[in-house]
Amino acid sequence: MDVFEAISTRRSVRHFDPDHRMTENEVRELMEHVLLSPTAFNIQNWRFVAVEDHELRAEIRKAAWDQAQVTECSLLLVLCLDLKSWAKSPERYWRNAPTAVAESMVREIKHFYRDDECLQRDEGMRSCGMAAQTAMLVARAMGYDSCPMDGFDFKRVGHLINLPPDHRICMMICIGKTLQGAHPRSGQLALDDVLMRDRFPESEYDAG
């Protein structure tokens, strides 16, 4: 499946075959591609929790208002962000670069993120968002379907997965073999409604 087909056929599916499980090799293949997702300064500030324990999944399902896909999917991923990844041995992110480049980038990383907690969180959310899309498209290319989720109690799920204090949860993704496809797309906006050229048009309010 090429990337265009993966994008056009990716849908949010909520009914998975509960008896199917991805193999360890499949999970590794998916995640190794997810790790190719971009992050600012290459700080790789996403962290992924693959929830395999059945009892833990059941507890997370309770925290997700009993949504069945949490326990029925083949792979449940909790996408988290490390707010302080920029400060945790940042030289490792540039270990294969020329020395001068690596030293410069490490200085820039510290200068950019230090003392800006809002930026640290925003960057983590951006990184997780890009990783999530990669995960869903790779899953589709592998013949699986997926469902991104933010309909759950973030605090409760964080407690259940032992989320470190300097981490936050971005979303969860359910991946598996679909039993029931998604409904037809409910109403995509026209391209002209969302794509501007150069700038937003002036509104009557702004013009007045």
Question: pLDDT (tens digit, 9 = 90+) per residue, 121-153?
Answer: 999 999 999 999 999 999 999 999 999 999 999
| Chain segment 40-81, per-residue pLDDT in tens | 999 999 999 999 999 999 999 999 999 999 999 999 999 999
Burial class (CB in 10 A: 0-12, 13-18, 19+), 97: middle
Q: Per the domain annotation, does 204 fall within a domain?
A: no
Confidence (pTM): 0.92
Structure confidence at residue 207 (pLDDT): 53
196 domain residue, yes or no: no
pLDDT, tens digit (0-9, with 9 covering 90-100), for 90-125: 999 999 999 999 999 999 999 999 999 999 999 999
Provide the CATH number for the domain around residue 50.
3.40.109.10
| Interatomic CA distance for residues 161 and 105, integer angstroms | 33
Q: Please indicate, yes or no, if residue 188 is contained in any of the structural domains.
A: no
Residue 206 lies in a domain: no
Domain count, the chain: 1
Domain around 142: 3-183
Q: Is residue 197 part of a domain?
A: no
The answer to whether position 198 is within a domain reads no
Residue range 14-29: average pLDDT? 96
Could you tell me the two tokens for 194? 């969302």
pLDDT at 20 over 80: yes
What pLDDT shows up at residue 181? 77
Q: What percent of the chain has pLDDT over 90?
A: 91
Asked whether residue 208 is assigned to any structural domain, the reply reads no
Q: What is the 3-state secondary structure (H, E, C) of the chain?
A: CCHHHHHHHCCECCEECCCCCCCHHHHHHHHHHHCCCCCHHHCCCEEEEEECCHHHHHHHHHHCCCCCHHHHCCEEEEEEEECCHHHCCHHHHHCCCCHHHHHHHHHHHHHHHCCCHHHHHHHHHHHHHHHHHHHHHHHHHCCCEEEEECCCCHHHHHHHCCCCCCEEEEEEEEEECEEECCCCCCCCCCHHHHCCCCCCCCCHHHHC
Q: Is residue 50 part of a domain?
A: yes
Q: Kindly indicate the confidence band of residue 205, based on its pLDDT and cuts at 50, 70 and 90.
A: low
Mean pLDDT over 154-176 rounds to 98
When pLDDT is cut at 50, 70 and 90, the band that residue 1 belongs to is confident
